[in-house]
Amino acid sequence: MSTTVGNSPYAESSGSFTRRGPRFTDRIVASPSSEQEWQAEPGRYRLVASLACPWAHRSVIVRRLMGLEDAISLAIVDPLQDDRSWRFSLDEDGRDPVLGYRYLSEAYLARDPENGTENGVSVPAIVEESTGRLVTNDYPQITVDLGIEWAKYQRPGAPMLYPEELREEIDAVNEGVFHDVNNGVYKAGFATKQARYEEAYTALFARLDELDERLADRRYLVGDHITEADIRLFTTLVRFDAVYHGHFKCNRQKLAEFGNLWPYARDLYQTPGFGDTVDFDHVKRHYHQVHTSINPTQIVPLGPEPSVWLEPHRREGLGGTPFGPDGTPPEPLDAPLRPLPPLEG
C-alpha cells in the first residue's frame, strides 16, 4: 500500500504514524445497484499489485485461491519507486502491456484528473482495462469481494474465505490484527518519537502473544479452514523476520521464536496460494532501498534463509483442512510471478 519514498509522509507532529484510508471505495459486485458499484465481468479488470506490499499481497493470494487468474489479469509493479510512486519498469519499455502506462498514478488521474493522486498512489488497485480508469483501491474490501462477488467465475473447489456464520468473529480478529500487527509494525517503524514507538512496539507484541496463545489448540484463526483472518495476518508474518524485526525495530523476538505463530505461518506458507505468491527479493528490496530515512545506505540484507519456511510444521494434528471439507487446492504455478534481476554494486 505504501507510497513512501524516503521519509514516511504519514508521520504526525506527535511522532505517530497514521495510515490514510483508501480514497476510491467503489466495489465490483455480482449485481450492481448504485453508481459506486461495477459489474463483475471476466476480462474487464486488471489487478495492479506489488509483491513487496503486504496489503497488495492479500489480493494476489485471494485471486489465486479463488482461481480467478483467467477472469482478472495481474500487473506486478517494480518494488522500487521514484517520486511518482509505483511504476511498471519491470515490463518491456517500462510500460504495462495492457494499460500502456508507465506509472500507476496514470490510472488514478484517469479516474480523477484534478485530485486523483492527492491521497497518494497505493496498491492494490483495480483498473478497468478498456478505459484505464482506476476502479478501487479499497484494499480491505477488494479481497472480500473477490471471495464473494466473483463466485460465478471461481474455480471448482474454491474455499469460503468469509462465511456468513463466522463473519462476526473474523471481523473481531481482523480489527485487532489490523491496528496492532498489520499497521502496528508501521507505527513502530515510522514513529518519530520514542514514546510513540514504544506504544506501538508494546501493542504489537501483546497482540502477537495473544495470537500465539489462540493458535495453541486450533490450526487456523477462525473456524476449521483458511479465512480472511489468516490471509490478513499471514502477509505481515511472512515479512516479519525479513524486514520488520530489524528494519522497523520490532525486535523483542523473531517470528521464528514463537511457539505457535511460527509453525502456523509455515503451515500457511506451504499451502498453495500462499508461499508461491511470496517473493522475499521484492520484499527486502522495497523496504531497505525505498525507506532511505531508515536505511540510508540502501544495503539489502541477504538473510534470513528462505528454506526454513519449508521445514515441517506438524499442525495437521490440530484438525481442520485448508480449503474446507469440499475444497481443493489451486493448480500449481508454472513460474514465479515476477522475478527480479540480480542486485548491482
Strand partners, 87: 103
Q: How far apart are CA 14 and CA 284, in angstroms?
A: 29
Identify which of 19, 66, 78, 68 has the alpha carbon closest to the alpha carbon of residue 45. 68
Give Cβ neighbours of residue 28 (< 8 Å, ≥ 6 apart): 37, 38, 39, 40, 45, 126, 135, 136, 145, 149, 150
User: Over 233-296, what HEC string results?
Assistant: HHHHHHHHHHHHHHHCCCCCCCHHHCCCHHHHHHHHHCCCCCHHHCCHHHHHHHHHHHCCCCCC
- 53 is a catalytic site residue: yes
Residue with cell 515476477: 338
Q: How far apart are CA 69 and CA 198, in angstroms?
A: 42
Q: How far apart are CA 184 and CA 176, in angstroms?
A: 10
Identify which of 230, 248, 331 has the alpha carbon closest to the alpha carbon of residue 288. 248
Work out whether strand 125-128 and strand 73-76 pair parallel, antiparallel, or are unpaired: unpaired
Catalytic-labelled residue, pool 53, 103, 197, 287: 53
Q: Are 197 and 249 in contact (CB under 8 A)?
A: yes
**Within a 13 Å sphere around the CA of 256, how many CA atoms are in the beta-carbon half?**
13
DSSP reduced 3-state for 85 = strand
Catalytic-labelled residue, pool 108, 162, 186, 220: 186
Q: How far apart are CA 322 and CA 313, in angstroms?
A: 14
| Catalytic positions, written as ranges | 53, 186
